[in-house]
């Protein structure tokens, strides 16, 4: 039986049938995405001298491994590495690392990267293989370099390895974002609370002021109490004082009847005494 021929789109990418797409790794959950996109804490960012005398930021391999374990779990990722002879010399070693991320269904995706380091020699000795300090240490350093670069393709410490990309993205977001809206009530109280454009528009239309959620609830409470007091005053039954015919509230009349057996205003109550 002949195998189905692969199909490609206009950009040369393979078109994967829907049935096969179901076997691909599932979408990362929001927690994983947030962890991958989070900025690297300053405490984990180190600096080293690079070629040309420049200073370069980097993270240690331990940070990357810990990040992978926390995001994908110890069983959710794997790595392989191999020496690249054609890119290695007596003075330099190159390693290719393959980082594999797996999902709960067993599907996986791989990212590869190369890493390399200068070989270390004993001090004041010729740079020949016989004078290597430790070949294994050189290989481990190159492997760690390759692993970190492969992990950065998934987003781990992306801001450290590609700071210009993050910087430009932040500038674009800042340019596209409208000026923030602030709560008018909080501003009068000496605080500055930022609210969304939708919050600002909704509260401005209803209350005449831009309000945060807390101040909006306070305004609703105040408005309800005001309406209740207004309603109670409107519907309150008035009674005439028996002596001066002045209108008094039902509550005053009730008190007066209890004390003087008849409805009296405050002034007449004093005279009755």
CA–CA distance, 152 with 67 (Å, rounded to integer): 11
pLDDT (0 to 100) of residue 4: 56
CA–CA distance, 43 with 191 (Å, rounded to integer): 31
- For 45-80, the pLDDT digits (tens) are 999 887 777 788 999 999 999 999 999 999 899 999
- Judged by average pLDDT, the poorest of 14-28, 126-140, 146-160, 168-182 is 14-28
pLDDT (0 to 100) of residue 259: 83
Q: Are 71 and 99 in contact (CB under 8 A)?
A: no
Q: Which domains does the chain have, with CATH numbers?
A: 15-168 (3.30.390.80), 181-235 (no CATH), 238-272 (no CATH)
SS3 string, 8-59, reads ECCCCCEECCHHHHCCCCCCCCHHHHHHHHCCCCHHHCEEEECHHHCEEEEC
pLDDT (0 to 100) of residue 93: 95
pLDDT mean over 14-18: 55
What are the C-alpha distances in Å from 202 to residues 153, 183, 206, 215? Answer: 42, 12, 6, 13
Q: Quick check: 24 pLDDT over 50?
A: no
């Amino acid at each position: 039986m002949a195998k189905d021929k692969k199909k490609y789109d206009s950009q040369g990418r393979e078109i994967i049938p829907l049935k096969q797409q179901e076997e691909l790794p599932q979408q990362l959950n929001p927690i994983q995405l947030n962890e991958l996109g989070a900025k690297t804490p300053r405490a984990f960012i180190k600096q080293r001298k690079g070629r040309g005398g420049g200073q370069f930021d980097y993270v240690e391999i331990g940070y990357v491994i810990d990040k992978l374990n926390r995001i994908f779990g110890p069983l959710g990722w794997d790595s392989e590495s191999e020496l690249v002879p054609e890119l290695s010399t007596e003075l330099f070693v190159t390693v290719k690392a393959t980082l594999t991320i797996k999902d709960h269904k067993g599907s996986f995706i791989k990212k590869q990267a190369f890493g390399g380091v200068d070989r270390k020699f004993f001090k004041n000795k010729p740079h020949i293989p016989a004078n290597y300090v430790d070949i294994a240490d050189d290989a481990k350093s190159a492997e760690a370099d390759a692993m970190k670069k492969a992990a950065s393709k998934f987003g781990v410490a992306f801001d450290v390895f590609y700071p210009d990309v993050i910087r430009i993205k932040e500038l674009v977001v800042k340019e596209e974002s409208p000026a923030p809206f602030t709560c008018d009530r909080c501003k009068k109280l000496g605080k500055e609370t930022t609210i969304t454009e939708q919050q600002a528009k909704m509260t401005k239309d209803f209350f005449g002021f831009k309000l945060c959620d807390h101040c909006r609830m306070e305004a609703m409470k105040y408005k309800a109490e005001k309406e209740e007091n207004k309603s109670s005053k409107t519907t309150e039954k008035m009674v005439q004082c028996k002596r001066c015919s002045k209108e008094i509230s039902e509550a005053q009349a009730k008190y007066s009847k209890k004390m003087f057996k008849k409805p009296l205003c405050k002034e007449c109550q004093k005279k009755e005494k």
